[in-house]
C-alpha cells in the first residue's frame, strides 16, 4: 500500500496539489490538477480565472470555498471531472506517467487525516472511499 498526500516526500507527485501543468481541451493551462478541479466548480469565468491564477493549490482550494456561482450539478459530475483532469496530468507529463506505472500493483491510498473521506481515507486507513486512489489505479491500469 502506498499512502500519499501533498506533503508525502516520496509520493507527493500523486497529489492533486503537486505542481505540474495541465492543459484542458479549451486550451487553458492550469498549474495543478487542484487548480483546474476547483475552478471547474464555478460557472462564472471571472471566478474561474481567479482560481486558475491562484499562487498555490492550497489558495485555489480556499478560493473555491468563496464561490458565488457554483455549478448545481457538481456532486453529480465531480468524479468524472476529477478522472478527466488526473488522466490529463499523466497523459501530458511523461515523467509522472512513468512514476505512476512504476508503482506496479500497489494499492494507492490518498491519506486525508483532516477528514476528506470522499477522496481519501482517515487516520485508521479504513474509513473513507479513497476515490482519488481508485482513479489513479484505474489510470495506471490503462497505461
Cβ atoms of 100 and 139 closer than 8 Å: yes
What integer is the mean pLDDT of 21-30? 96
Query: Cβ contacts of residue 92 below 8 Å, gap of 6+?
Result: 21, 22, 23
- pLDDT tens digits, 51-110: 999 999 999 999 999 999 999 999 999 999 999 999 999 999 999 999 999 999 999 999
Three-class SS of residue 121? Answer: strand
The pTM score is: 0.94
Cell, residue 47: 471566478
pLDDT bin (cut points 50, 70, 90) of residue 33 is very high
Q: Where are the domains of the chain?
A: 2-142
CATH superfamily of 2-142: YbiA-like (1.10.357.40)
| Residue 38 scores a pLDDT above 80 | yes
Instruction: Provide the β-strand partners of residue 111.
Output: 121
| Residue 114 scores a pLDDT above 80 | no
Q: What is the pLDDT of residue 122?
A: 86
Three-class SS of residue 70? Answer: strand
What integer is the mean pLDDT of 36-51? 97
**Strand ranges (E), 2-103:** 2-4, 22-23, 29-30
Residue 3 to residue 17: CA distance in whole angstroms: 15
Amino acid at each position: 500500500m502506498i499512502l500519499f498526500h501533498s506533503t508525502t516526500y516520496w509520493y507527493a507527485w500523486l497529489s492533486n496539489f503537486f505542481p505540474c501543468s495541465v492543459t484542458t481541451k479549451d486550451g487553458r493551462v492550469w498549474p495543478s490538477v487542484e487548480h483546474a478541479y476547483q475552478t471547474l466548480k464555478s460557472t462564472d469565468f471571472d471566478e474561474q480565472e481567479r482560481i486558475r491564477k491562484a499562487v498555490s493549490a492550497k489558495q485555489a482550494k480556499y478560493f473555491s470555498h468563496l464561490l458565488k456561482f457554483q455549478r448545481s450539478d457538481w456532486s453529480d459530475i465531480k468524479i468524472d471531472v476529477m478522472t478527466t483532469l488526473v488522466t490529463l496530468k499523466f497523459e501530458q507529463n511523461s515523467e509522472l506517467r512513468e512514476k505512476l506505472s512504476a508503482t506496479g500493483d500497489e494499492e494507492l491510498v490518498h491519506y486525508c487525516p483532516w477528514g476528506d473521506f470522499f477522496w481519501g481515507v482517515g487516520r485508521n486507513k479504513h474509513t473513507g472511499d479513497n476515490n482519488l486512489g481508485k482513479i489513479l489505479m484505474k489510470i495506471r491500469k490503462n497505461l
